[in-house]
Amino acid sequence: MREQLEQQQSWIYLAFIVLGLCLGLLAPKQVAALEQALWPLLGLLLYATFTQIPLLQIKQSLQDIRFMAALLMGNFIVIPALLGLLVVWLPLPPPVLAGVLLVLLVPCTDWFITFTHLGKGDAARAIAATPLLLLVQMIALPVYLWLFLGSEWLHLTLSPALLIAFLGIIALPLLLAWLTEHTAHRYVAVERTICALGLMPVPLLAVVVLIIAATQVTQVLALRQLLWQAMLIFMGFLIVAGLLGRVLGGLFKLPPASARTLAFSFGTRNSFVMLPIALTLPSGWQAAVVVIVCQSLVELFGMVAFIRWVPGKLLPERVVS
């Protein structure tokens, strides 16, 4: 059941986004009431997702030094540097730029594992790396935003609403997930609960994107021209991410499966972990939310292509560099 949901998730999200846009156009007053359910759903979504990450295995993730060095270099040095060039070269409205940066600066820690497995990467290394990726991005994101958007923007976003969102929607679910995993070693029932929670991220995220599409339909219509530009950026990013996996895989002399894992990590971004942050932005900056949802949809369909391109053409068994 879980595998079927994950394989069809791109179409599920697309269907729910279209449904949300229709609801927002046809019944805007009724849809407004749905927004109250968004924050509890996000908290539950992140808790269910975090329970699928082996948070207790951070030490084990450091065993393969070359792979981890390539992974961290690509995600937290090379990709931010490339995005820095994008900021300089491409004039975008600040809210759209904020959305692009929020979603592209941080690597994914959930469906990255699924697509790595489907794309003949090293799923074991992907699983081991996810806790460290999550920890590093939480520390690095404020620094990146300050560097790219300036201290004034950082001051703007460091509001009580953002602090509450971070503590209540990200930090608390992360802590609860860690406690759940810790107790799962003692109680079989808790272990079964974690398995059951693995079925929840796809349907929960589908409902979340439906609510966002329904409540942000005016933003979508107002940004329809800019969203095409953002989609082109996201598609270009996927191509660069795949090529970066090949380059760093060769540079660090990694086997093909590990190099493919790099490509999938670089190509997948932590979109819905960034949603709570984007949702706290002041009025006038809500376009960032629409951009993040747009990126997640482009990424998911891009991963369908990645599954064939990465092991078949980019990183076949006979070549890494």
Q: What are phi and psi of 76, to 5 degrees?
A: -115, 0
- Assess whether pLDDT exceeds 50 at residue 209: yes
pLDDT band at 321; cut points 50, 70, 90: very low
- For residue 260, which amino acid is it? R
- For residue 249, which amino acid is it? G
- Assess whether pLDDT exceeds 60 at residue 18: yes
- Among residues 271, 262, 291, the alpha carbon closest in space to that of 110 is found at 271
The predicted structure's pLDDT at residue 60: 63
Mean pLDDT of 185-201: 92
Contact 278, 296 (CB under 8 A): no
Please, which residues bridge with residue 269 across strands? 107
Residue of 274 and 267 predicted with greater confidence: 267
The predicted structure's pLDDT at residue 289: 92
Tell me the three state secondary structure of residue 280: coil
- Assess whether pLDDT exceeds 50 at residue 14: yes
- Assess whether pLDDT exceeds 90 at residue 15: yes
Contact 39, 212 (CB under 8 A): no
Residue of 61 and 208 predicted with greater confidence: 208
CATH topology for 2-17+36-314? Na+/H+ antiporter like fold (1.20.1530)
- Calculated CA dihedral for residues 187, 193, 195, 198, nearest 10 degrees: -150
How far, in Å, CA of 19 to CA of 17, rounded? 5
Percent of the chain with pLDDT over 70: 94
- Assess whether pLDDT exceeds 60 at residue 317: yes
- Assess whether pLDDT exceeds 90 at residue 226: no
- Assess whether pLDDT exceeds 50 at residue 320: no
- Assess whether pLDDT exceeds 80 at residue 283: no
Tell me which of 121-125, 199-203, 222-226, 283-287 is least confident: 283-287
Handedness of CA 263, 268, 269, 270 (dihedral sign): negative
- Assess whether pLDDT exceeds 90 at residue 200: yes
The predicted structure's pLDDT at residue 252: 96
List CB contacts of 81: < 8 A, sequence separation 6 or more.
none
The predicted structure's pLDDT at residue 262: 97
Mean pLDDT of 133-161: 79
Contact 249, 262 (CB under 8 A): yes
The predicted structure's pLDDT at residue 158: 64
Cα radius of gyration (the chain) = 19
List CB contacts of 50: < 8 A, sequence separation 6 or more.
173, 174, 176, 177, 178
The predicted structure's pLDDT at residue 55: 79
Alpha helix (H) ranges present in 60-122? 65-73, 79-89, 94-104, 111-118
pLDDT in tens, 29-81: 888 888 889 999 999 999 999 998 887 766 666 678 999 999 999 999 999 99
How far, in Å, CA of 179 to CA of 287, rounded? 35
- Assess whether pLDDT exceeds 90 at residue 155: no
List CB contacts of 142: < 8 A, sequence separation 6 or more.
154
- Among residues 130, 58, 122, the alpha carbon closest in space to that of 254 is found at 122
| Residue labelled with tokens 């009431």 | 33
